[in-house]
Structure 1
Amino acid sequence: MNQTDFSKHISDFFGSYLPDECGVTNNTIKTYSYCFTLLLEYFKEVELIRAQKLTLKHITKERIISFLNWLETTRKCSTNTRNARLGAIHAFFKYLQYRDVTGIAMWQDVLSIKFKKTGVKQMPFLSVEAIKALLDLPNQKTKKGRRDFVLIGLLYDSAMRVQELIDSTPSDIRFGEIVTIRVIGKGNKVRTIPLTDVQANNLKQYMLENNMLDKNKLNNPLFSNGRDGKLSRMAVLKIVKKYFQILKQNTSIIVPDDIGCHALRHSKAIHLLEANVNLVWIRDFLGHSSVTTTEVYARASDKMKKEALAKLNPGIIIEGKSSWQKDPQLLSYLKSLQLDF
């Protein structure tokens, strides 16, 4: 069977362009490939064009917009997911601009599709007291409980992304006066994160218990699935959400319903800001490419908002002295009305 122009370019896009020329991570390749799996499903179900017949001329701006709407209506995807899929499609059509210039007008037509605006969503995070209560939940008398305790503690202390945690190995840890962990973030950017003394000690005890300082195990996953393989993202989420649920059920601490692993990263960032740590340092700590991304944490902190307002014209608002406070009879009358309802 002859290859279509679409299948040839999609093979080159994933097989050569993304890994070799762009140097993107395997996680990005997986995300992009899933987008095109969905696109093929859409063309088969809605446009009645099977994968082996699909060509680039079929993939018009109008059909891509229809595909994006299908994701939201039929697949029940969120606006953020829709935009992520469009980002993958944009990447492919940017690639096409330099691989097949004869169709550049069509490629740029698809690239003109704008991302859909999303509502501002409240960033879920926990207070310092809530984090302490969360870390007190794993049963440290069991091996699995000790693993969960160190895993959750490391996610918070380092503000690592879940994928960064999954990809970490014992060889990434540097023990010294300052204990650090080396992580490879988005875009294969490497950063070194210092750990607090307490978390560093917890991590060292965990590694000793599991013989991770053995030279033969230095490249094994720092947190494994029990078969020396990496934990999946879903497995890490399951561990963390388990303790969030216990925290919510057994304490008076308010825990948002949609909270996940990223809330630990959010929480660390906000706690650093509330401790007056420089925003640029936090940007580097989190692995953001721009300080603009980091500024969202400053907008999320109610404590920082209150402190900022207190610095602005303090003492202007004075305590009111209402007429009913001056008139005992009127106050008694108002209170008597409340008793009738």
Structure 2
Amino acid sequence: MSEHLLLAPLLESYFRRRLTKQRNATPATVSSYRDALRMLILFAADRLRKKPAALALEDLDRDLVLAFLDELEEKRNNCVATRNARLAAIRSFFHHVAAADPASFGVAQRVLSIPINRAHVEVTHHLTKAEVDTLIAAPDPKTPRGRRDRAFLLFLARTGARVSEATGVNANDLQLERSHPQVLLRGKGRRDRVVPIPKDLARALTTLLGERGITHHEPRPIFVGARNECLTRFGATYIERRAATEAEPTRPALADKPISPHIFRHSLAMKLLQSGVDLLTIQAWLGHAQVATTHRDAAADVEMMRNGLEKAGVTGDRGVRFRPNDSVLQLLNSI
């Protein structure tokens, strides 16, 4: 056996079989893991003064991986969460190495023993109802771009969708003709969920679809950019920051808030918590994999956290379908 020829086939089998066929990983996960391993290989090639194709598996030992992780934090200024995400990709690959090539078990075991770093978890920021309303009202409703921006901000604020979920929504994911309109959101890790749509958002979406000549059953993106392509994450961030700039004269406090599309999720969670909705319902609504993630929003208010923890129980499995009761629907239509 030639160990110097071992790395390439293991990488190929990892991406072609392990991730895509055995793990059924999403394209986003495959892309993230590919980037992490590409960065590791380029780092190893530079450090060992070898061409990437000349690297052997034993070159990617524990010491080299640790040096790579240190460079991420010290030279690239990556946060602990990003460092841990890169390590997760590397560990996933070495789990495959241990199973696929017993001769390399020792190398894999030493890399797998590298621990995840503990990250400082800050209290999440959120917007008040008045601030959310001001942001939504900021875009000019007299222009097509302004109406799109308003509808997009309203979608984030009312559904609590992640940016990737909102930009990935197609017209056939909507059910606006129902007595209680709803939308299918495709969450991280293939965790799909259905969430309610309030009346103001339903009207905005109906108007937007009508302007673009799209019926409710077409598999076409709802939110598009200037080139009529699906809105990107950068485009979504630009929309909110532009709205924040326009809204700051009216709401100066917005200048001190870390404005990003994700802040709407926290703002909706806080509104639901303040209205007495239990943590498990919010977990299902926002598509959190664990109720502990929802606790971070509750931690912004000690009394809400205490009440939520008393109501919380065992977390649900993957693929939660949220079915709100009438009281929650009334609350949604009032925010």
Q: Shorter-chain TM-score: which interval?
A: 0.7 to 0.9
1:96 aligns with 2:94: no
Describe how 1:290-301 pairs up with structure 2 within 5 A.
290-301=290-301
Instruction: Pick closer, same or farther for the CA change 1:212–1:303 going to 2, 3 Å.
Output: farther
Match of 2:13 in 1: 12
Instruction: Pick closer, same or farther for the CA change 1:48–1:246 going to 2, 3 Å.
Output: farther
CA contact (8 A) 2:72 2:78 kept: yes
CA contact (8 A) 1:220 1:228 kept: no
1:160 aligns with 2:165: no
Describe how 1:305-324 pairs up with structure 2 within 5 A.
none
C-alpha distance in 1, partners of 2:71/2:145?
A: 42
Match of 2:323 in 1: none
Match of 1:207 in 2: 209
**Superposed displacement of residue 250, structure 1:** 4.5
Select the structure with the greater relative contact order (CA < 8 A; seq sep ≥ 6).
Answer: 2
1:136 aligns with 2:148: no
Match of 1:332 in 2: none
**Superposed displacement of residue 140, structure 1:** 0.5
Identity %: 26
Query: Structure 1: any 5+ residue segments left out of the alignment?
Result: 309-341
| RMSD, matched Cα | 2.2
Instruction: Pick closer, same or farther for the CA change 1:135–1:95 going to 2, 3 Å.
Output: same
C-alpha distance in 2, partners of 1:199/1:301?
A: 28
Q: After superposing the two structures, state which structure 1 stretch, 256-265 or 277-286, moved more.
A: 256-265
Match of 1:197 in 2: 199
Question: Secondary structure at the residue paired with 1:276?
Answer: coil
Match of 1:339 in 2: none
Q: What is the letter of the counterpart of residue 68 of structure 1?
A: L
CA contact (8 A) 1:23 1:188 kept: no
Q: What is the letter of the counterpart of residue 169 of structure 1?
A: N
CA contact (8 A) 1:150 1:202 kept: yes
For residues 100-123 of structure 1, the C-alpha deviation after alignment (integer angstroms, 9 at most, x for no partner) is 222223212111111112223232
TM (normalized to structure 1)?
0.83
C-alpha distance in 2, partners of 1:127/1:182?
A: 26
CA contact (8 A) 1:283 1:290 kept: yes
Instruction: Pick closer, same or farther for the CA change 1:48–1:170 going to 2, 3 Å.
Output: same
C-alpha distance in 1, partners of 2:91/2:307?
A: 42
Match of 2:179 in 1: 177
Instruction: Pick closer, same or farther for the CA change 1:61–1:174 going to 2, 3 Å.
Output: same
1:224 aligns with 2:219: no
Match of 1:125 in 2: 126
For residues 19-75 of structure 1, the C-alpha deviation after alignment (integer angstroms, 9 at most, x for no partner) is 221112111111111112211221233332321111211111111110000111121
Question: Secondary structure at the residue paired with 2:185?
Answer: strand
Describe how 1:230-249 pairs up with structure 2 within 5 A.
230-249=230-249
Instruction: Pick closer, same or farther for the CA change 1:35–1:257 going to 2, 3 Å.
Output: farther
Question: Secondary structure at the residue paired with 1:102?
Answer: helix
TM (normalized to structure 2)?
0.85
Q: After superposing the two structures, state which structure 1 stretch, 28-37 or 167-176, moved more.
A: 28-37
Instruction: Pick closer, same or farther for the CA change 1:250–1:48 going to 2, 3 Å.
Output: farther
Q: What is the letter of the counterpart of residue 69 of structure 2?
A: L
CA contact (8 A) 2:4 2:57 kept: no
What is the count of residue pairs matched by the alignment? Answer: 305
Instruction: Pick closer, same or farther for the CA change 1:301–1:196 going to 2, 3 Å.
Output: farther
